[in-house]
């Protein structure tokens, strides 16, 4: 078989597989929302209170009748139009990233021998790690934070929140290492702060699917530590190189549902299109790579909403101890016309927001 014929069949298989995966999501999507709704409905009364919604964001926007509760029908509004896999790429007005390589990315990479077992089990979560204790020690614990958006815009909100208990989805002790923000297929993911690409992973490598990881210096974020942001479930990978410098708001790629299923070991067919946004923090710029995961030296998980608070505390146990009035986090953002709110922000939400 010639090389050209092989390439044709590989491409055809990829298209057919994507069509099959999206078609199954179109059929299973409503069931998934219903299942997640039942799980959130702790008292079983068929509606979600503010407390049960767990500060996922946009409660008032979804509460169409203004009764202070969300019904399943109202929650499903969050996913309207998300089954259509037809989108134009690159998007209108797309500015390709100019190649500019940051040499410190390769210089700061170290051997895994510089990582403790606690760091490896806590952040890379290898199968040999027998329990979730190192994950909690390294900051993977629920904090109760949630996004609050300006009343002048409409932004995509969270469904699977930070450190959510995933035991019901994994049949074992497991916590969600990030936030998921569901959007329509092909919605551009944007870099949340200036930084440099530190890793690129293909869809078959993990549950996070096609993923780009970016490192940010304290000067780039205005925060007192190095941070790492990971953009998972991309439908396509960008043409980036390791070390590629990015500006805040640069497009990483289109949103999809790529990534293997935690239970089946193959591409998930029931995952809705969404970003899985994960973050780590460290005082050191050095990092290693373990289990297709970037592990900073002496690194900790970072609640993405703690990142957006832009002030201490940043460690999860300290964020969890904050009073409730400090856990609703006002989100800096970029609008679809490129404006930022506030004007001089160094951080933005990973999706553009629409002006009302």
Helices assigned H by DSSP within 185-259: 218-221
Please provide the size of the chain in residues.
Answer: 356
Decide if 114 contacts 108 (C-beta within 8 A).
Answer: no
Cα(275)–Cα(335) distance, rounded to whole angstroms? 18
Q: What are the pLDDT digits (tens) for 191-242? A: 999 999 999 999 988 889 999 999 999 999 999 999 999 999 999 999 999 9
Domain 3-79: CATH superfamily, name plus number: EF-hand (1.10.238.10)
Q: pTM of the full predicted structure?
A: 0.91
**In the predicted model, what is the mean pLDDT of residues 282-302?**
97
* Architecture of the structural domain at 104-355: Distorted Sandwich (2.70)
What percent of the chain shows pLDDT beyond 90? 80
Q: What are the pLDDT digits (tens) for 147-206? A: 999 999 999 999 999 999 976 665 667 899 999 999 999 999 999 999 999 999 999 888
User: How does strand 251-254 pair with strand 188-190?
Assistant: antiparallel
Question: What ranges do the domains of the chain cover?
Answer: 3-79, 104-355
Query: Comparing 8-17, 61-70, 137-146, 338-347, which segment has the lowest mean pLDDT?
Result: 8-17
């Amino acid at each position: 078989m010639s090389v050209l014929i092989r390439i044709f069949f590989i491409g055809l298989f990829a298209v057919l597989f994507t069509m099959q995966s999206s078609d199954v999501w179109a059929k299973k999507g409503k069931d998934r929302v219903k299942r997640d709704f039942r799980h959130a409905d702790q008292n079983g009364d068929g509606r979600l209170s503010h407390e049960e919604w767990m500060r996922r964001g946009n409660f008032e926007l979804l509460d169409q009748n203004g009764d202070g509760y969300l019904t399943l029908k109202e929650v499903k509004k969050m996913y309207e139009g998300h089954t259509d896999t037809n989108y134009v790429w690159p998007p209108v007005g797309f500015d390709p990233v100019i190649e500019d390589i940051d040499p410190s990315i390769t210089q700061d990479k170290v051997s895994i021998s510089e990582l403790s077992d606690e760091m490896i089990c806590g952040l890379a979560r290898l199968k040999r790690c027998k329990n979730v204790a190192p994950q909690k020690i390294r900051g993977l614990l629920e904090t109760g934070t949630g996004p609050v958006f300006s009343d002048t815009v409409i932004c995509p909100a969270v469904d699977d929140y930070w450190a959510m208990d995933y035991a019901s989805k994994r049949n074992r002790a497991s916590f969600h290492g990030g936030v998921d923000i569901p959007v329509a297929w092909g919605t551009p993911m944007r870099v949340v702060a200036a930084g440099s690409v530190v890793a690129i992973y293909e869809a078959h490598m993990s549950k996070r699917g096609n993923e780009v990881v970016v490192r940010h210096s304290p000067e780039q974020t205005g925060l007192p530590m190095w941070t790492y942001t990971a953009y998972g479930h991309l439908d396509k990978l960008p043409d980036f190189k390791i070390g590629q410098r990015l500006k805040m708001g640069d497009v990483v790629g289109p949103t999809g549902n790529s990534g293997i299923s935690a239970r089946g070991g193959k591409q998930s067919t029931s995952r809705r299109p969404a970003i899985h946004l994960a973050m780590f923090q460290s005082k050191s710029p050095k990092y290693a790579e373990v289990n297709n995961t970037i592990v900073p030296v002496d690194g900790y998980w970072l609640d993405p909403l703690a990142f957006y608070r832009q002030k201490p505390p940043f460690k999860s146990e300290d964020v969890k101890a904050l009073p409730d009035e400090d856990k609703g986090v006002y989100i800096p953002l970029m609008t679809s016309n490129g404006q930022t709110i506030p004007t001089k922000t160094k951080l933005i939400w990973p999706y553009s927001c629409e002006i009302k």
